């Protein structure tokens, strides 16, 4: 998982500012893009590195936006998926740490319209990253 300052995904974010739009890319390497597509199933934020911590804030659920600032740029079209949203912090927190957790699933199948994509039965990958004060 990588965070960028721009929609072109070319400038890696070194500082995340409140309400500033950031772009997130999930990608993998070493797989055949004709057979595997990376699909973001869900992304959520917590105040700690514990993915099950409360409170949590849902950004993407079942592949759909749950946040009014979130824009899904690419999802399921190759070996990377990306989205953007306005950076935030938890209001109940003295620390401004935010941990972003994303769970993906693989879409298997050919890229022909007549073929329905099937989700892999294997466990989804969970990726976590953080921006901290």
The pTM assigned to this predicted structure is: 0.78
Structural domains present in the chain: 2-131 (2.60.40.4100)
Low-confidence ranges of the chain (pLDDT < 70): 92-94, 106-133
107 contact partners, CB below 8 Å, separation of at least 6: 36, 37, 39, 76, 117, 118, 119, 120
């Amino acid at each position: 998982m990588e965070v960028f300052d721009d929609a072109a995904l070319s400038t890696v974010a070194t500082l995340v500012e409140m309400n500033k739009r950031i772009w997130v890319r999930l990608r993998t390497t070493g797989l055949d893009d004709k057979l595997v597509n990376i699909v973001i199933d869900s992304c959520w934020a917590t105040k700690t590195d514990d993915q099950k911590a409360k409170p949590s804030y849902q950004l993407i659920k079942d592949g759909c936006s749950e946040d009014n600032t979130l824009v899904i740029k690419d999802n399921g079209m190759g070996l990377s998926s990306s989205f953007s949203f306005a950076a935030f912090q938890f209001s109940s927190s003295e620390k401004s740490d935010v941990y972003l957790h994303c769970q993906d699933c693989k879409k298997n199948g050919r890229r022909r319209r007549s073929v329905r994509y099937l989700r892999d039965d294997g466990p989804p990958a969970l990726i976590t990253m953080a921006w901290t004060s």
